[in-house]
Amino acid sequence: MAKIIRIGALQNQMGLWKANAVQQMLEKLGHKTKIVPVELSPELKNKANFTKALDIKLLNNEIDLAVHSLKDVAAKLPKGISQAAILKRGNFKDLLVYKNNEEFLSQKDAIIATNSLVHRAQWLNRYPTHNIIELDGDDATQLQKLEDNNLWNAAIFEASNLGRLGLKPKDSINLDWMIPAPAQGAIIITALEEEKEIKAICSELNHEETDICTSIEREFLNLLANSYSAAIGALAFIKEDEVHFKGVLLSPDGSKKIEIQRTEKLGEHNKIATYCADFIIERGGKNLIDSIKNLSKPKNLYATKTLTLDQSLLFNEKVIAESSDFVKISLNRIKPQVVQGPIKNVIISNRNAVDALLHNFSATELQFKNIYCIGRRTKRLIEKRIGSVTQVEKNAKTLAEYLVEYIDGTEATYFCGNLKFDPLPTILSENNIKVNKVEAYQTKYDAKRLEDSVKGIMFFSPLTVQSYLKENDPDIIAFCLNDTTATEAKKQFKDIRTAKAPTIESFIKLVNDHYM
C-alpha cells in the first residue's frame, strides 16, 4: 500500500492555501496525500517563532512535510530538517492598497499601515513625513482594518499573498520601486533529513530558477544581518542567461539607505551575494547594522535632542544611546503690527525665533535696520533668509553687554520664546534700554522617564536640563554641550562634564571618552 504523505499546514488561510497547492502537485504526480492542520500555540504567534510549530510536528514524526513561506524561514534550518523543494515563485512585488484615491501620496501627513520593517523603511525613505501604523493579523483581517479605519490612507501588502487568496482589491497598485524582502513570494517544502524517499519525491517539484534566485537573496541577508530587525530588501531574477540582483539596507526610520545592483552570467553567479554584501558593509553598512542591533540592548546613555543616524554612528561600540526631544517647539502667530514699518534694533534669540518670523512674514516684510543675535548658526540662518547681522555673540549675557556699549539708540525689539532663561532683558533694562519682548514661539517640556540602565544624559540647552528634572532624578552624569547648559546643570547635578567646543562632534567625543 502506497504511503500517504502527511502535509503540515498552519491553520489559517495562507497556510492552508500553500498546503493545498503542494497537495495538488504531489497528487498530479500520482502520490496520495493528507493535509494535517496545525494550530499555533500562543507562545509561537510571532514572526520569529511561528515556523517552529511545523518544525516540532516534523521532528515528532507527526507530519512528513512542512510548507512555509520561504522569507519566514531562518537561513539555517533546525537540526534534522532539510530543504526538500522550492516551488516556482509567485508575484514577488509589494502592493499598495489605497482608499478613495492616490492624492495622499502628495500629502505631508498621510497614514500608511504595514506589518513589515522593509516596507516601513523604504516608504519612509521615499515619503519621510508620512506616518506608519503597525498592521497585524492575517491578510483578510488587515484588509478589513484598512477598510474600517477612516484615518488610514493605504496599507502595504505582499502581492503574492493577496493574489493567491483572491483578495486583491481593485484600488491597488504594484510598488515597482520597492525592493521586496529576501525570498518574498517563494514557498519552501521541508522534510526530515533522514527521509530520503520523501525528499526524492519532492525534488520533482523543485523550481531551479527560483531556487537559484532565492538562495542568492537569503545569502545576502545572512551575510549582512540574518535578522528580522534589519530592514533588508533583496531581489534576484534571471533574464537571458544573466542573473540580475538588487539589494538594499536601510535604517528602520528610512533616513539612511545603502543599495547595490549587480549582474553576472548564469553559472558565474555564486559570488553575487558576497560581493553585494561586502559593498554594503564597506559603505557604512556595518555601522548601520550595529546601530540596529543596539536597539534591543539596554540603553546606557540618553540624549535630550533627537539625533540623526549619522550622529548616532559617531558613538563608540560601548555607547548604547537613545534620543528624543525633551523640549518641543510650536511657532506662535505674530501680529502684523509688530513688524509694520522699519524697526531700528532687533534682537533674535535663536533659530526658532527666525523660523517663527518667517512662518508669519515674508523676508521683504521684515524691515530691520540692525539685527543682533545669539549664536553663529542663528547668524547664518538670518543672513541667508532675512538680511545682514550687525553683531553676533555666543550667549545672551555677552550680547547684552555689547548692546549696553554699542546699541544705536535706547530701544530694541526682542524675538524669543516663552521660557527663554537669559539675562538679556534684565541687563538692558538696568541700563535704561527699553526691550519690547515678543514671544515668537512656545517651548514645552516633554521629558521621558528614563530606564535604570541609563547612566549618562546629554543636555543641549538649559531648557533640556529643566525638562529632564520634571521626570527624573539628578543622580547620573550630566554631559553638557556648553557652559550655559553646564551652569544650569550645576544647580542639581553633582557629576558634570562639558564639551570642549559647542559642536556635536566635540560633544559626542566627550561621551565616547567616558565610555571607553
| CATH number for the domain harbouring residue 266 | 3.30.160.40
Provide the grid cell at 266: 548564469
Check: CB of residue 231 under 8 Å from CB of residue 114. Answer: no
Looking at the structure, tell me whether residues 141 and 262 fall in a common domain.
no
| pLDDT in the model for residue 226 | 57
Q: Write the pLDDT tens digit of every residue in 440-486.
A: 999 889 999 999 999 999 999 999 999 999 999 999 999 999 998 99
Q: Is residue 435 part of a domain?
A: yes
Are 198 and 80 part of one and the same domain? yes
- Let me know: does 357 contact 440? Beta carbons within 8 Å: yes
Q: Do 363 and 255 lie in a common domain?
A: no
Residue owning grid cell 488587515: 142
Considering the entire predicted model, what is its pTM?
Answer: 0.63
- The percentage of the chain sitting over the pLDDT mark of 70, rounded to a whole number, equals 95
- Spatial strand order in the sheet of 327-331: 327-331, 434-445, 411-417, 343-348, 368-374, 391-393
Q: Is 36's pLDDT higher than 80?
A: yes
In sign, the C-alpha dihedral spanning 99, 101, 105, 106 is: negative
How far apart are the C-alpha atoms of 239 and 516, rounded to whole Å? Answer: 51
Regarding whether 455 and 310 lie in a shared domain, the answer is: yes
Does 215 lie in the same domain as 104? Answer: no
CA dist 302 and 458 (Å) reads 6
d(CA 203, CA 190): 11
pLDDT band at 58 (very low <50, low <70, confident <90, very high): very high
Last residue of a domain, one of 396, 422, 444: 444
Residue 206 has pLDDT above 90, yes or no: yes
pLDDT band at 418 (very low <50, low <70, confident <90, very high): confident
**Could you tell me if 368 and 244 lie in one domain?**
no
Across the chain, mean pLDDT equals: 91
Compute how many other C-beta atoms are within 10 angstroms of the C-beta atom of residue 450.
18
Same domain, 225 and 283: yes
The CATH code of the domain that includes 337 is 3.40.50.10090
pLDDT band for position 49 (50/70/90)? Answer: low
Does residue 365 register a pLDDT over 90?
A: yes
Q: Is residue 304 part of a domain?
A: yes
The CATH number covering residue 169 comes to 3.40.190.10
Question: Of 415, 444, 473, which closes a domain?
Answer: 444
**Residue 498 phi, psi (nearest 5):** -120, 135
Q: Residue 136 has what pLDDT?
A: 84
Is residue 467 included in any domain, yes or no? yes
Together in a domain, 127 and 31: no
Mean pLDDT, range 41-66, rounded to an integer: 77
User: Listing from the earlier edge strand, what are the strands of the sheet with 131-134?
Assistant: 131-134, 111-114, 154-158, 94-98, 172-174
Claim to verify: residue 49 and residue 102 sit in the same structural domain: no
Domain with 64 in it: 1-88+186-206
Give residue-wise pLDDT tens across range 118-151: 999 999 999 999 999 888 888 999 999 999 998 8
Quick one: 195 and 227 in the same domain? Answer: no
- For residue 318, the 8-state DSSP code is T
In a domain, 179, yes or no: no
Q: How far apart are the first and last CA of the chain?
A: 70
C-alpha cell of residue 254: 528610512
- Indicate the number of domains in the chain: 5
- What integer pLDDT is reported at residue 47 of this predicted model? 47
Residue 299 is classified by DSSP as P
Residue 245 lies in a domain: yes
Last residue in a domain, options 275, 295, 315: 295
409 and 495 both lie in a single domain: no
pLDDT above 90 (res 369): yes
Q: Does 83 share its domain with 202?
A: yes
In percent, the amount of the chain with pLDDT more than 90 equals 75
Does the residue 181 lie in any domain?
A: no
> Exposed e or buried b for every residue in 114-139, given b needs 16+ CB within 10 A?
bbbbbbbbbbbbebeebebbebeeeb
Task: Give me the pLDDT at residue 302, please.
Answer: 96
- Residue range 241-262: mean pLDDT, rounded: 93
Residue 180 lies in a domain: no
CA quadruple 152, 182, 296, 324: dihedral sign = negative
Question: What are the pLDDT digits (tens) for 306-331?
Answer: 887 678 878 888 898 889 899 988 89
The total number of residues written for the chain in this structure: 516
Question: Is the pLDDT reported for residue 228 higher than 60?
Answer: no
Q: At residue 45, does pLDDT exceed 80?
A: no
Q: Looking at the domain assignment, is residue 213 inside a domain?
A: yes
- The interaxial angle of helices 376-385 and 351-360, nearest 10 deg, is 20
How many angstroms separate the CA atoms of 119 and 113, rounded?
A: 9
